[in-house]
Amino acid sequence: MNEAMNIPGYTYGTAAVARSPVTPADFELMKKSVLFGDEDLKYLRLSHDVLKDQVEAVLDVWYGFVGSNPHLLASFTGKSDGKPLGDYLGAVRKRFGQWILDTARAAYDQKWLDYQHEIGLRHHRTKKNRTDGAPSTDHVPFRDLFALVFPVTFTLRSFLAKKGHSAEDVEKMYAAWVKSCLLQVTLWSHPYVKAGDF
C-alpha cells in the first residue's frame, strides 16, 4: 500500500477522508443482502495475485469501453468544449488501477468503508473534479455508474482465467468480484440518495 500513497489524489486511510455515514453494522447487512460470505472473501483475495501484473491490461479494456461510448466519456471531458481531458483521464486511471488491487485485497475495515464514501463523493457533484482540479462536467450520472458493474466484471472474467486456475475457481473469483462491485457501487450511491433514504 506504501507505493499506492505516491498516486496523486489517492487518500485511502488518511485524515483527508471523512468517516463514512454507513456503519460497519450496516455494511454487514449489505453483505448479507448480496450473499457475500467468507468464501467470497477468500476468492477475492485469491484474485489479487491473479490480477496484480495485469492491471494495465485490464485498464486498457475498461478505458477502451468508456472511450468508445461518448455518453460515458462525457464525465472526463471539458465542461466548456466537451473534449476529453487527457491529464484527468490519466490521473483517474492511476487511482482506478489501485482500486482493482484494493478490491482484491478486500480489507473491509473502517478505512476501506470511509474511502468508499470518498469515492462516491468524487463521482457526485459534491466533490467531482476537486481531487485533480479538472475543468470537467459536474458529476457522473448515477445511471452510468451503476450500469458499469456489468461491463467491468464481465470483461474481468477473462483476466481471472489467465493464471491456470480451475474453471470453478475462476467462476468463484468472478462471482466474488460481482458481489464486491455491487457492494461498492451501493456505497458510492450514498451522496446520490435523498437524506434518510439510503
Of 72, 99, 70, 91, residue with least CA distance to 1: 99
CATH number at 93 reads: 1.10.490.10
Q: Is the CB of residue 191 less than 8 Å from the CB of residue 124?
A: yes
Is position 197 within any domain? no
Look at residue 5 in the predicted model and tell me its pLDDT.
73
Q: What global pTM score does this model have? A: 0.95
pLDDT class for 3, splitting at 50, 70, 90? low
Look at residue 2 in the predicted model and tell me its pLDDT.
59
Look at residue 1 in the predicted model and tell me its pLDDT.
55
Determine the Cα–Cα distance for residues 30 and 108; give it in Å rounded to an integer: 12
Predicted confidence (pLDDT) per residue in 52-95, tens digit: 999 999 999 999 999 999 999 999 999 999 999 999 999 999 99
Look at residue 185 in the predicted model and tell me its pLDDT.
98
Is position 29 within any domain? yes
Look at residue 111 in the predicted model and tell me its pLDDT.
97
Q: Which residues pair with 136 in a beta bridge?
A: 78
Which domain, by its residues, includes 40? 21-192
Residues counted in the chain: 198
Mean pLDDT of the chain, nearest integer:
96
Is position 2 within any domain? no
Is position 124 within any domain? yes
Question: What's the number of domains the chain is made of?
Answer: 1
Is position 43 within any domain? yes
Q: What are phi and psi of 103, to 5 degrees?
A: -65, -45
For the segment 175-189, the average pLDDT, to the nearest whole number, is 98
Residue 70 burial by CB count (10 A; 0-12/13-18/19+): exposed, middle or buried? exposed
Look at residue 102 in the predicted model and tell me its pLDDT.
98
Is position 126 within any domain? yes
Is position 46 within any domain? yes
Is position 69 within any domain? yes
